[in-house]
């Protein structure tokens, strides 16, 4: 059985205006040591899918379906039962370390608290382990830095502290929500390398949420592309980059700078993501898709296998046509 098995995950929010269906029928599995990238623009449902599994939705949110972790449905657990797992076996790195770290507490207190709570460690033993973890994420002078407060650290160091905190209890699954977005490119590359090294050393499974397919290329084995609360394409990362079959995936790839090709303009996807309070009928991408036709406006495309069971896509146009067009345009 996979470490994590998510089936028909749905998330909705009740607002004064409407019921917002943020996530519609997400399915995936995650094996031990595997990395899954969930990709999409803001509002695609990627973060809400993960927050739902961890019981961290806003108070007007409701999740249904199944998220089995070692056979136990996370969506059915009480807050107390989830607290035993969260921060311990399942951990999360948030996008903005400045708003996730407590500005009133030293790094030491924030780190030792986790170990005292989940591992019953003494303060002294917890501090030793916390310093070791800060060293593992390459914080220089860790024994000194641990006594500092978040505002005394640079953005890159705060992100490393967040990663160290998330790894303190050696989680089996690490959820990382845009862990490099707030960082400049050099620090971004260092943090991604750090995640790769930690995965190798600790065997952690990672679910990486990102809008950047470049980050997926460097870290993930599997990828799920989301748009308008639905999965558009889902497969192993190498297939996605070699043979993207969904117009939205192709749009994301065309907007990505390439180091292996010179010249050519980057092409953005025209328009904006849909308003999820009033989503368009049919395919959620039809208002921005160059291949949209009447059937796209009328019917939501089902997520169907392209090639075996591990490559799925939701589009009315044939996969082969889209792949051929992409490869011809890209001179692959």
Interface positions with ligand SF4 (CB under 6 A): 247, 283, 285-286, 289, 291-292, 296, 301, 315-317
Minimum CB distance to ligand SF4, residue 246 (Å) = 6
Cβ atoms of 219 and 35 closer than 8 Å: yes
Minimum CB distance to ligand SF4, residue 265 (Å) = 22
Please identify, using beta-carbon distances, which residue of 160 and 313 lies nearer to ligand SF4. Answer: 313
Q: Cα separation of 28 and 224, whole Å?
A: 9
DSSP annotation of 106: -
Q: Cα separation of 301 and 311, whole Å?
A: 15
Minimum CB distance to ligand SF4, residue 92 (Å) = 31
Single out the residue of 182, 186, 207, 6 nearest to residue 91, CA to CA: 207
Cβ atoms of 280 and 296 closer than 8 Å: no
Please identify, using beta-carbon distances, which residue of 285 and 311 lies nearer to ligand SF4. Answer: 285
Please identify, using beta-carbon distances, which residue of 55 and 279 lies nearer to ligand SF4. Answer: 279
Beta sheet of 19-30, edge-to-edge order: 19-30, 4-14, 61-69, 72-73
Please identify, using beta-carbon distances, which residue of 198 and 315 lies nearer to ligand SF4. Answer: 315
Q: Could you count the other beta carbons within 10 Å of the beta carbon of residue 158? A: 21
Minimum CB distance to ligand SF4, residue 228 (Å) = 10
Please identify, using beta-carbon distances, which residue of 139 and 232 lies nearer to ligand SF4. Answer: 232
Minimum CB distance to ligand SF4, residue 293 (Å) = 7
């Amino acid at each position: 059985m996979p470490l994590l098995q998510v089936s028909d995950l749905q998330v909705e929010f009740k607002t004064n205006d409407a019921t917002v269906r943020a996530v519609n029928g997400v399915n995936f599995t995650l094996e031990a040591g595997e990395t899954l990238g969930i990709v999409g623009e803001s509002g695609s449902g990627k973060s809400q899918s993960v927050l739902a599994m961890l019981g961290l939705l806003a108070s007007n949110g409701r999740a249904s379906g199944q998220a089995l972790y070692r056979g136990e449905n996370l969506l059915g657990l009480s807050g107390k039962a989830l607290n035993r797992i969260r921060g311990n076996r399942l951990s999360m790195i948030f996008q903005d370390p400045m708003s996730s770290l407590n500005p009133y507490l030293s790094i030491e207190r924030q780190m030792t608290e986790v170990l005292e709570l989940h591992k019953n460690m003494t303060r002294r033993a917890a501090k030793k382990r916390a310093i070791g973890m800060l060293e593992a994420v390459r914080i220089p002078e860790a024994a000194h830095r641990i006594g500092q407060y978040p505002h005394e650290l640079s953005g890159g160091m705060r992100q490393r502290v967040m990663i160290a905190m998330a790894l303190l209890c050696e989680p089996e699954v690490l959820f990382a929500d845009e862990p490099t977005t707030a960082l400049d490119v050099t620090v971004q590359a260092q943090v991604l390398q750090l995640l790769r090294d930690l995965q190798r050393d600790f065997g952690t499974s990672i679910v990486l949420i990102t809008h950047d397919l470049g980050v997926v290329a460097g870290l993930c084995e599997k990828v799920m592309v989301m748009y308008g609360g639905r999965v558009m394409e889902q497969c192993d990362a190498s297939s996605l980059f070699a043979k993207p079959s969904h117009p939205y995936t192709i749009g994301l790839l065309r907007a990505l700078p390439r180091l292996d090709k010179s010249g050519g303009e980057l092409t953005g996807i025209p328009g904006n993501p849909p308003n999820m309070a009033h989503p368009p009928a049919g395919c959620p991408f039809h208002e921005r898709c160059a291949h949209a036709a009447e059937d796209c406006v009328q019917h939501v495309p089902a997520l169907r296998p392209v090639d075996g069971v591990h490559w799925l896509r939701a589009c009315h146009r044939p996969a082969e046509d889209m792949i051929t067009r992409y490869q011809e345009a890209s001179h692959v």
